Structure 1
Amino acid sequence: MRGYYKENESGELVFIPSGEMPNQQVGIYWFIDNEVIKDAVPFKDGEPYGEVIQYGSHFDFWQALQPTTEIEKKLKSHAYDAYPRGRIVFFPARKVFRIYSDHCLDTDDLNKVLESFEIEDFDIEIKDDEHYRCAGCNPFYVDI
């Protein structure tokens, strides 16, 4: 179902169904060969974690993945953290999406990620995070 979120008279964030607004999502992603691989849900279906709504685990998704495309086969052929990756979370109190990413992803790459998560009409923060370091960015990386 497509829709958007807005505050009701009590200040709570409520979902308003609509055919016009995108289906904003939260979840995890990899960026490989200019393609996004993601595991995401509409943010209304995400999991509360502290002050954010989030979803997914890179390791769990990678471990369960049965590759069907060439890009999925490429992801599965190395450790789950070999390629650039990140996470998109939502801060409901501030009505802001935050994209955590590997610092090797540029603005065009991040725009492709945001487009795949259908995030529009919300404020967005971008945060470089040491947790999301690929083999090329992490000097201590060992592919096992």
Structure 2
Amino acid sequence: MLVTDRTPMTEAEIFGDCLTHPRGHHEVWEAWRKLGATALRRRGLPPTIVSHEYEAFPRGRVVYMLEPALFTLYADRHLQRSETVAEIVRLFA
């Protein structure tokens, strides 16, 4: 299951020559953990988040490179399967 936290382009943060999500993996994960298992389930997130550190799972990030105007996916090698990349493209439109 892919668990994502997305940002509209209009709310992206400038980082060097890129636009990126303003929150880090640890920050997002800890906010989710504080919600508790029931609230996570209601949001469609796996309740196992509360009992694991974010480092336990493969992670990635989608950034928009201003030059040459394209999206780049930085992903753990476990996420670099064609079906997973296709799902990430679908989720992030």
Structure 1: stretches of 5+ with no match in the other structure:
1-34, 119-144
Give the structure with the higher percent strand.
Answer: 1
Cα displacement (A) at 1:114: 1.4
Give the structure with the higher percent helix.
Answer: 2
Say yes or no: does 1:81 pair with 2:55: yes
* The structure with more radius of gyration: 1
> Structure 2: how far apart are the matches of 1:75 and 1:114?
23
Q: Give the aligned partner of residue 63 of structure 1.
A: 30
Q: Give the aligned partner of residue 112 of structure 1.
A: 87
Provide TM-score, normalisation by structure 2. 0.80
Q: How large is the Cα RMSD of the aligned pairs? A: 1.6
Q: Give the aligned partner of residue 53 of structure 1.
A: 19
Q: Give the aligned partner of residue 3 of structure 1.
A: none
Which residue identity is paired with 1:49?
Answer: F
Structure 2: stretches of 5+ with no match in the other structure:
none
Matches within 5 A, 1:27-46: 35-46=1-12
> Structure 2: how far apart are the matches of 1:81 and 1:92?
29
Which residue identity is paired with 1:76?
Answer: V
Which residue identity is paired with 2:11?
Answer: D
Provide TM-score, normalisation by structure 1. 0.54
Q: Count how many residue pairs are aligned between Structure 1 and Structure 2.
A: 84
Identity of aligned pairs, percent?
A: 25
> Structure 2: how far apart are the matches of 1:87 and 1:114?
12
